[in-house]
Chain A
Amino acid sequence: MAYSDKVMDHYENPRNVGALDKDSKNVGTGMVGAPACGDVMKLQIQVNDQGVIEDAKFKTYGCGSAIASSSLLTEWVKGKTLEEAQQIKNSQIAEELALPPVKVHCSVLAEDAIKAAISDYQGKQGK
């Protein structure tokens, strides 16, 4: 399967790989997907008092498109407010990476991951 240059770039040089302290009150963690389906994404965001995402890390088990989708997502959410990050749509990711139709589910997973991370953070804040 031929991948776009942008997918290859993110796949070969993934941005923001790693982990944040999942027990920290300022960190939200979203883990989506299932090993049986061939994709698991873990996205973590660190949010400051102003509600701005100041750091983001990911780890992904999955195909090149899944890795690229989550890598791109971490770049996009950094510096955004939670409200802004909540607005990110899978179609924007799919378009940016020129994902073929069979790989659109990777971008859906990325959107689910940021929503899950925000929800986890908000839960910790008691909101």
Chain B
Amino acid sequence: MSLKLPVYLDYSATTPVDPRVAEKMCDCLTMDGHFGNPASRSHPYGWDAEQLVEEARANVAALVGADPKEIIWTSGATESDNLAIKGAAHFYKKKGKHIVTVKTEHKAVLDTCRQLEREGYEVTYLDPESNGLVDPDKFRNALRDDTIVASVMHVNNEIGVIQDIKTLGEICHEKDVIFHVDAAQSPGKVEIDLANLPVDLMSFSAHKIYGPKGIGALYVQRKPRIRLEAQMHGGGHERGLRSGTLATHQIVGMGEAFRIAKEEMAAEGERIQALRDRLLDGVKDMEEVYINGDMEQRIPGNLNISFNFVEGESLIMALKDIAVSSGSACTSASLEPSYVLRALGRSDELAHSSIRFTMGRFTTEEDVDYTIKLIREKVDKLRELSPLWEMYKDGIDLNSVQWAAH
């Protein structure tokens, strides 16, 4: 198979829709297909669409060990995060006004918390350890009597580390705090069994798992029942938690993506991990290369590396035949170094020098070999250009230099 350039290694930003998913979605659009409004109760077009929506709900629930009744459709993980955190904070405001989260969360959680701060809530933003994981004792100490909800992501989008949500959830429940988990990046990569996990609310996305963009879900636990204040009002869809006509084709796409993931995740995980290890093996002997985030508690397809003394944006430019990012797609428009790596305690230089490689279903060994060759060549070239590399080679400690900050 010939290489398709640029090689796509940005699966944590988004994934292509699996052709099997696309086919199912196309069946839900035209006059010949299942185009009905799932809320129409008066004719078979509606009943037919409703049945497909419920099948999809069952497929999503099955992958994560939930009851289908606990799955609420949303427009994506961002909306799910908003509904979960604002919804719980508003509903339970009589209990208190404190929220706990982590500095390495996605902006969908952090900016939601910022909004709640503007509304008068108080938020604690925890620092993770240098490997990206949250220390359970520090987490416990952050919870207070007036804490309503704690939000911790399952898998980090930049460094791919997996938080111990079981332990953190148990701590929440000891303290009677609602536990929300942003799981946009984890389904199909990490086993999730909500029936046995102390998690009350969990956000999902379709487009990170070979489904379409524009659809997601929120798990809302029923026993004991977690109450939320709706953020979107209207026709009372989704048990009043999220009004709006259900997008049958999107929902069917998400359901099919989750169904395929359940069937294939074991084999796929092994294959992708082998590719990730191949990439790591290909670059780890280079000088001054740092892996960001824990390598054990990590999803198979993520490698986040800092190439010291090379600036990330120029490296991405040099690697134009591979599609990668220096952080999350949501922040790549800014010139700031990754806030996730900063929270891990990485120096500014290393945070400025990081590249995230994320592999997935359609990544091949050829893609990885091509990438290794390109990285080695381009990092060497940019280091030849780098005054910092020259100083490092001359044995100068860069921390001892008085830089003129600008």
Min CB–CB distance A34 → chain B (angstroms): 3
Would you list which residues of chain B between 216 and 264 have a CB under 8 Å from chain A?
none
- Chain B residues with Cβ under 8 A from A31's Cβ? 387
A-B contacts at CB below 8 angstroms, number: 81
Q: Are A34 and B352 in contact (CB under 8 A)?
A: no
Q: Are B352 and A59 in contact (CB under 8 A)?
A: no
Number of chain A interface residues as a range: 20 to 34
Partner of B398, one of A3, A17, A35: A35
Would you list which residues of chain A between 63 and 92 have a CB under 8 Å from chain B?
63-64, 66-67
Q: Are A34 and B405 in contact (CB under 8 A)?
A: yes
- Chain A residues with Cβ under 8 A from B277's Cβ? none
CA distance A108 to B335 in the complex (A): 16
Would you list which residues of chain A between 40 and 68 have a CB under 8 Å from chain B?
40-42, 59-64, 66-67
Partner of A33, one of B317, B389, B398, B403: B403
CA distance A35 to B313 in the complex (A): 13
Q: Are A17 and B385 in contact (CB under 8 A)?
A: yes
- Chain A residues with Cβ under 8 A from B388's Cβ? 35, 40, 61
Q: Are A62 and B314 in contact (CB under 8 A)?
A: yes
- Chain B residues with Cβ under 8 A from A1's Cβ? 333
Partner of A40, one of B313, B317, B335, B387: B387
- Chain A residues with Cβ under 8 A from B337's Cβ? 38
Nearest A residue to B384 via CB reads A17
- Chain B residues with Cβ under 8 A from A61's Cβ? 309-311, 385-389
- Chain A residues with Cβ under 8 A from B405's Cβ? 34, 36-37
Q: Are A60 and B349 in contact (CB under 8 A)?
A: no
Interface flag for B3 (CB, 8 Å): no
Given contacts A17-B385, A60-B385, are A38 and B311 in contact (CB under 8 A)? yes
Q: Are A11 and B387 in contact (CB under 8 A)?
A: no
- Chain A residues with Cβ under 8 A from B309's Cβ? 61
Partner of B348, one of A36, A59, A63, A112: A36
Using a Cβ–Cβ cut-off of 8 Å, how many residues does chain B contribute to the interface with A? 25
Nearest A residue to B399 via CB reads A35
Q: Are A38 and B352 in contact (CB under 8 A)?
A: yes
Interface flag for A109 (CB, 8 Å): yes
Interface flag for B5 (CB, 8 Å): no
- Chain B residues with Cβ under 8 A from A35's Cβ? 347-349, 352, 388, 398, 403
Report which residue of A11, A19, A35 has the largest number of chain B beta carbons within 10 angstroms of its beta carbon: A35
- Chain B residues with Cβ under 8 A from A112's Cβ? 406
Q: Are A63 and B387 in contact (CB under 8 A)?
A: no
Q: Are B348 and A60 in contact (CB under 8 A)?
A: no
Would you list which residues of chain B between 386 and 403 have a CB under 8 Å from chain A?
386-390, 398, 403
Given contacts A34-B403, A109-B406, are A64 and B314 in contact (CB under 8 A)? yes
Interface flag for B31 (CB, 8 Å): no
Nearest B residue to A108 via CB reads B406
Nearest B residue to A64 via CB reads B317
Q: Are A59 and B317 in contact (CB under 8 A)?
A: no
- Chain B residues with Cβ under 8 A from A109's Cβ? 406
Q: Are B387 and A59 in contact (CB under 8 A)?
A: yes
CA distance A54 to B201 in the complex (A): 68
Q: Are A33 and B386 in contact (CB under 8 A)?
A: no
Min CB–CB distance A16 → chain B (angstroms): 11
Nearest B residue to A70 via CB reads B385
Interface flag for B267 (CB, 8 Å): no
Interface flag for B330 (CB, 8 Å): no
Would you list which residues of chain A between 1 and 23 have a CB under 8 Å from chain B?
1, 3, 11, 14, 17, 19
Q: Are A36 and B404 in contact (CB under 8 A)?
A: no
Interface flag for A32 (CB, 8 Å): yes
CA distance A64 to B385 in the complex (A): 11
Partner of A60, one of B313, B347, B386, B404: B386
Chain A interfacial positions (CB closer than 8 Å to B): 1, 3, 11, 14, 17, 19, 31-42, 59-64, 66-67, 102, 105, 108-109, 112
6 A-B interface contacts by CB (under 8 A): A3-B317, A35-B349, A35-B398, A36-B347, A37-B405, A38-B348
Additional A-B contact list (8), CB under 8 Å, known A3-B317, A38-B311, A61-B386: A33-B406, A35-B348, A35-B352, A36-B348, A61-B309, A62-B311, A63-B313, A108-B406
